[in-house]
Amino acid sequence: MIDDFPDGAGLPGGLLLRSPIPEDQRRVLAVLDVWWAGFGGAAGSRERSLLLPRLFFQHFTDSSFVVERPDGALVAFLIGFLSQSQPEVAYIHFVGVDPALRRRGVGAFLYQRFFTLAAARGRTRVRCVTSPGNAASVAFHTGLGFQVDPGDAATADGVPVQQDYDGPGLPRVTFTRILTGPQEER
Amino acid sequence: MIDDFPDGAGLPGGLLLRSPIPEDQRRVLAVLDVWWAGFGGAAGSRERSLLLPRLFFQHFTDSSFVVERPDGALVAFLIGFLSQSQPEVAYIHFVGVDPALRRRGVGAFLYQRFFTLAAARGRTRVRCVTSPGNAASVAFHTGLGFQVDPGDAATADGVPVQQDYDGPGLPRVTFTRILTGPQEER
């Protein structure tokens, strides 16, 4: 159904989109170690495992995506869900794209796809977070129509930050994007 | 509504049950450090933060609980959700009880409360996981009617274990409990 994507945007040459299955969790963790060049060593790898426990690949598969090359290699993923207790909200938890495919629109494709899905299921806002040090991520999100939520601090560039948002020493920039309706439900 | 609990079980003297709010996340992380006696040091504390990101205290509040003393001190919590993509399943992600209150039935109360909620919302199975080293946790879960799922390894006590379940070096014992119906919906 990739050809039906409303904005006319597609995935680059031959990439395939599908919903994740539980066995994809270990594949995602393995490629993250490669894509992040082993950032943080064994502790970094373990932290990524804790951020992406298997439950996300079991219980939220209908609002998440993996992208593969025709040879089966995993090149991108998006893990998101529909908020259970905030019926107007959908949430994007974790997105990764193979560095070799960056700037090809794969990340934007996955976000747009999630917006379409969320709007079709009655959601009017998408929320997500990123780390304050990641200026590229902030630019990516604002480029997709996200607004930065107010903070209690700011980066050197003036981006609002919520200190200790996810725990002590885990500040976050948080984003909200309004889903404007029918055009995102096509 | 604690007095309505079908099994006649209640919370010990004056403890109060409510749904969590986002600000409870930092309170939960703080008490975990105390209850777990700082297990793992700063890295352990950080790992617990990653296991319990704020999103669980924002988007799954209607199937999660916190328990406080009349003076407001947090003494227990349960974070659970209704599976989005497996409509028959409810999932318990993380439970903690103040060690000073252990063996008073607080943990069992929270699980029973979650079973009742899950059954009322049409779920027929509850799933959760624990670490293989935690024999007390295995006994607790089987005592509540959970079955241990098959594994590809076993503990010294013969409990089935799924190796690398949540990532490399993160084996888990996984449990399923059948919700038997109306008696859990009272």
In a domain, B6, yes or no: no
Supply the CATH number for residue B24's domain.
Answer: 3.40.630.30
Say how far apart CA B145 and CA A173 lie, in whole Å.
42
Average pLDDT over every residue of A64-92? 97
Residues linked to residue B91 through DSSP beta bridges, in sequence order:
B81, B127
Residues linked to residue B67 through DSSP beta bridges, in sequence order:
B17, B76
Tell which residue, B98, B83, B74, has the closest CA to residue B128. Answer: B83
In a domain, B3, yes or no: no
pLDDT tens for chain B, 186 residues long, are 333 344 445 788 889 999 999 999 999 999 998 998 777 788 888 888 889 999 999 999 999 999 999 999 999 999 999 999 999 999 999 999 999 998 899 999 999 999 999 999 999 999 999 999 888 999 999 999 999 999 999 999 999 999 999 998 899 999 999 998 655 544
Average pLDDT over every residue of A51-70? 97
CB B73 within 8 A of CB B81: no
Tell me, what's the pLDDT at A183?
53
The tally of domains found in chain A comes to 1
Tell which residue, A124, A146, A134, has the closest CA to residue A172. Answer: A134
pLDDT tens, position by position, A2-16: 333 444 457 988 899
Residues in chain A within 8 Å Cβ distance of B45: 167-168
Structure tokens that stand for B157 in this block: 């006590």
B44 to chain A, minimum CA–CA distance in Å?
A: 10
In a domain, A147, yes or no: yes
Look at A186 and B165; give whichever has higher pLDDT.
Answer: B165
In a domain, B52, yes or no: yes
Interchain contact B37–A (C-beta under 8 A) = no
Residues linked to residue A91 through DSSP beta bridges, in sequence order:
A81, A127
Tell which residue, B55, B46, B144, B123, has the closest CA to residue B93. Answer: B55
Say how far apart CA B186 and CA B174 lie, in whole Å.
27
Rounded to two decimals, what is the model's pTM?
A: 0.92
A117 to chain B, minimum CA–CA distance in Å?
A: 14
| Residue in chain B lying closest to A64 (CA) | B85
Structure tokens that stand for A63 in this block: 């609002």
Report how far apart, in Å, the C-alpha atoms of A132 and of each of A103, A108, A141, A145 are: 21, 20, 13, 18
In a domain, B23, yes or no: yes
Tell me, what's the pLDDT at B181?
64
CB A110 within 8 A of CB A65: yes
Tell me, what's the pLDDT at A55?
97
Interchain contact A94–B (C-beta under 8 A) = no
Confidence of residue A41 (pLDDT cuts 50, 70, 90): confident
> Cβ B83–A25 below 8 Å, yes or no?
no
In a domain, B74, yes or no: yes
Interchain contact B186–A (C-beta under 8 A) = no
Q: Which range of residues forms the domain containing residue B168?
A: 12-178
Tell me, what's the pLDDT at B184?
58
Report how far apart, in Å, the C-alpha atoms of A166 and of each of A85, A174, B64 are: 19, 11, 18
Q: Which of A46, A50, A83 sits opposite B59 (nearest CB)?
A: A83
Interchain contact A61–B (C-beta under 8 A) = yes
A63 to chain B, minimum CA–CA distance in Å?
A: 8
Tell me, what's the pLDDT at B1?
34
ipTM: 0.91
pLDDT tens, position by position, A88-122: 999 999 999 999 998 899 999 999 999 999 999 99
> Cβ B166–A54 below 8 Å, yes or no?
yes
Q: Where are the beta strands (DSSP E) in chain A?
A: 16-18, 65-68, 74-82, 89-97, 125-130, 147-148, 153-154, 160-161, 173-178
In eight-state DSSP terms, residue B85 is S
> Cβ B52–A84 below 8 Å, yes or no?
no
Q: How many residues does chain A have?
A: 186
Helix (H) or strand (E) run with residue A185 in it:
none
pLDDT tens, position by position, A119-174: 999 999 999 999 998 889 999 999 999 999 999 999 999 999 999 999 988 999 99
In a domain, A127, yes or no: yes
CB B70 within 8 A of CB B14: yes
In a domain, A29, yes or no: yes
